[in-house]
Chain A
């Protein structure tokens, strides 16, 4: 598998998958601790109709139309949730559940009814992405990594996700203390003058940015899995947030790489001649890592378990 075809065929998806996984896992750490992990799930559902509409309007799958479409969809979602919550007099969780599933279904319908055959945009792509198709034909060998001409033809998802991850990592590092204080003790944070509402909005926006960037390359399944699984597994490995972040990055990269390799080569090793979906396998590996951490992680805590369990 490390033969001549590795650099053009396997390296780009491995790197893109890892970048997407880490970009989602970083904000995921704070979302999990704030018990808002499902917001990641929600975002990846809500953005679908926005992206489809943006494509229908502009006819392109460029970064900006997608980002604007996703952001508009998110705004509509927030307005709908607020409206349903007030008019229906129900709790926000229920309103969210209704809005997100409906918007996602609307996105799927829109996709099926519109002609998107010219681009990589269909229901399967929305769920699974197209990691396997992100190949780099100009990368003829390891030497191509130092060849500017070949590098210019890298799949555009790669630099896009690299930039996204850089922004997410920088934001996490710069706002580390406010994020940590306001996640642990919002009341105290407010009294010392931290803008807690703004911090919360910033966190969700950063997560949304990561979700939209990753969505295009790897689909919504990975996005949902990466917001939750690596941070949750990392929490079970340590009792320090600083170290939890490092574990979550490790688990994200491990899921992306192992999942991709298992999807591409696993069936061959088992004697079959097909491959399975990389996105599905990556999410599965992330879930397995979380399962192992839940069974054997050193910092498990039964505080929340029901009595007698």
Chain B
């Protein structure tokens, strides 16, 4: 079941092997109130890569992630995770929502949020073993938040909240990490800590995809880009996809690209 049949425009069927991709999205269309925000998008994330999803505000970056993960219901489209449908691959996926999408006033402690990442291991009623608790604490240590384990989450700064979310994702021991704007509104130290953790994940063979805003840091942080503005505009390694032309197409005339170091020089 690793191959998926795709109906090509000509009407013939092409069989494509999707199992080489950590995530493969085909023909994804999502609309809000009759207006498409993501239109017929294909995305192929090779295993072990680190991809930035970039595009202007409202271009459908977060929507693509959410629809691929079943959080939003797409009009059409097909997604495989390591060649399998999402339902059979959930334990291999870790999702970090936008920090602002949850209520940080929620009455719970830092460590309890990280333990949520271990839910699939304990289910409804099983107790968290000392080993699992130690693991949760270790994940907090990896993001430099171990001292805050028993703090209420509302007492954290934005950067600290983002690190807690990352620690919860680490606790899941996934193979594919999908992060929605992990650097939004965080301090510089947190940004460095997060990118170090993500690069470490990649070094261990994991796959990382992040919705990203800051074009200037794309070359330093990622090795691939996926550029979207409702339609997919470019996807691939930086030297072929992170081009002036693709960025101009995505952002229109609003963007001056000459200050972005590492921009691929493709005429």
Task: Give the distance in Å from the alpha carbon of A177 to the alpha carbon of B70 in the complex.
Answer: 21
Residue pair B105, A301 in contact (C-beta under 8 Å): yes
In the complex formed, the residue of B with least CB distance to A239 is B152
Q: Which of A2-10, A60-68, A187-195, A274-282 has 4 or more CB atoms under 8 Å from chain B?
A: A187-195
Question: Which A residues are in CB contact (< 8 Å) with B97?
Answer: 185, 187-188
The interface residues of chain A lying within 8 Å CB-to-CB of B87 are 193
Shortest Cβ gap from B103 to chain A (Å)? 7
Interface positions of B from 106 to 139, Cβ below 8 Å from A: 106-109, 112-113, 116, 119-120, 122-125
Contact residues in B for A191 (Cβ distance below 8 Å) = 69-71, 90, 93-95
Could you tell me the distance in whole angstroms from the C-beta of A194 to the nearest C-beta in chain B? 8
Report yes or no: B70 in contact with A175, Cβ–Cβ below 8 A. Answer: no
Min CB distance, B97 to chain A, in Å? 4
Whether the pair A188, B107 counts as a contact (CB closer than 8 A) is: no
B262 interfacial by beta-carbon distance below 8 Å: no
Tell me the B76-111 residues at the A interface (CB within 8 Å). 87, 90, 93-95, 97, 101-103, 105-109
CB contact between B154 and one of A183, A194, A239, A244 (< 8 Å): that residue: A239
Interchain nearest-CB distance for B23 vs A (Å) = 13
Also in contact, A240 and B95, with CB within 8 A (given A174-B124, A184-B102, A187-B66): no
Candidate in A183, A190, A303 with the most chain B CB atoms within 10 angstroms: A190
A180 touches B (CB below 8 Å) = yes
Name the CB-closest residue of A to B97: A187
Interface string of A288-306 (1 = CB under 8 A from B): 0000000000010101100
Check A190 against B119 for contact (C-beta < 8 Å). Answer: no
Is A238 in contact with chain B by the CB < 8 A criterion?
A: yes
**Which of A190, A241, A244 is within 8 Å of B70, CB to CB?**
A190
* Chain A contact residue count (CB 8 A cutoff): 28
Q: What residue in chain B is nearest A184 (Cβ atoms)?
A: B106
Q: Which of A175, A187, A244 has the most CB of B within 10 A?
A: A187
Q: Are B66 and A192 in contact, CB atoms less than 8 angstroms apart?
A: no
* Cβ-closest chain B residue relative to A235: B107
Assembled-state Cα–Cα distance A175/B123 (Å): 10
> A185-B97, A235-B107 in contact; A178/B124 too (CB < 8 A)?
yes
Q: Separation in Å of the A251 CB from the closest CB of chain B? A: 15
Q: Which A residues are CB-close (under 8 A) to B95?
A: 187-188, 191
Question: Residue A254 at the B interface, CB < 8 A?
Answer: no
Considering residues A176, A185, A191, A239, which has the most beta carbons from chain B within 10 angstroms of its beta carbon?
A191
SS of B interface (majority): mixed
Asked if A15 is at the interface (CB within 8 A of a chain B CB), the reply is no
CB distance from A149 to the nearest CB of B (A): 39
Query: Which of B66, B109, B113 sits near A239, CB closer than 8 Å?
Result: B109
A177: min CB distance to chain B, Å: 6
Beta-carbon contacts of A154-195 to B below 8 Å, as 1s and 0s? 000000000000000000001111101101110110111110
Question: Nearest Cβ distance between residue A22 and chain B, in whole angstroms?
Answer: 19
Minimum C-beta distance from A196 to chain B (A):
9
CA of A93 to CA of B228, assembled, Å:
34
B73 to chain A, nearest CB (A): 11
Q: Contact flags (1/0) for A231-248 with B, using CB distance below 8 Å?
A: 000010011110010000
**Residues on B with beta carbons closer than 8 Å to the beta carbon of A190:** 69-71
B residues 121-164 touching A (CB-CB < 8 Å)? 122-125, 152, 154
Q: Which of B69, B116, B120, B154 contacts A185 (CB 8 A)?
A: B116
- Give the nearest-CB partner of B69 in chain A: A191
Complex CA–CA separation, A178 to B123 (angstroms): 9
Instruction: Determine how close the nearest CB of chain A comes to the CB of B165; give it in whole angstroms.
Output: 9
Q: Is A33 an interface residue (CB 8 A)?
A: yes
Q: Which residues of B contact A299 (CB under 8 A)?
A: 107, 152
Q: Is the CB of B71 within 8 A of A240?
A: no
Q: How far apart are the CA atoms of A185 and B113 in the complex, in Å?
A: 10
Partner of A303, one of B101, B105, B116: B105
- Are the C-beta atoms of A244 and B107 separated by less than 8 Å? yes
Q: Looking at the complex, which one of B71, B109, B119 makes contact with A177 (CB distance below 8 Å)?
A: B119
A184 proximity list for chain B (CB < 8 A): 102-103, 106, 108, 113, 116
| Contact assessment for A181 and B116 in the assembled complex, using a CB-CB cutoff below 8 Å | yes
Q: Closest Cβ of chain B: how far from A178's Cβ, in Å?
A: 7
A177 touches B124 (CB 8 A): yes
Residue of chain B at shortest CB distance from A187? B97
Alpha-carbon distance A304/B104, docked complex (angstroms): 11
B124 touches A185 (CB 8 A): no
In this complex, which of A178, A180, A239 has the most chain B Cβ atoms within 10 angstroms of its Cβ? A239
- A185 to B165, alpha carbons, bound, how many Å? 11
Residues on A with C-beta less than 8 A from B172 are: 192
Complex Cα–Cα for A184 and B117 (A): 13
Q: How far is the CA of A181 from the CA of B69 in the complex (A)?
A: 17
Which residues does chain A contribute within 8 Å of B109, judged by CB atoms? 239-240
Given contacts A185-B116, A187-B101, contact A240 B108 (CB under 8 A): yes
Residues on B with C-beta less than 8 A from A183 are 106
10 residue pairs bridging A and B, Cβ less than 8 Å apart: A183-B106, A187-B66, A188-B95, A190-B69, A191-B69, A191-B71, A191-B93, A193-B90, A194-B119, A239-B152
A residues bordering B, Cβ < 8 Å? 33, 174-178, 180-181, 183-185, 187-188, 190-194, 235, 238-241, 244, 299, 301, 303-304
For the complex with contacts A187-B101, A239-B108, 8 further pairs of A-B residues with Cβ separation under 8 Å are A185-B102, A185-B116, A187-B71, A188-B95, A190-B70, A191-B94, A192-B90, A192-B172
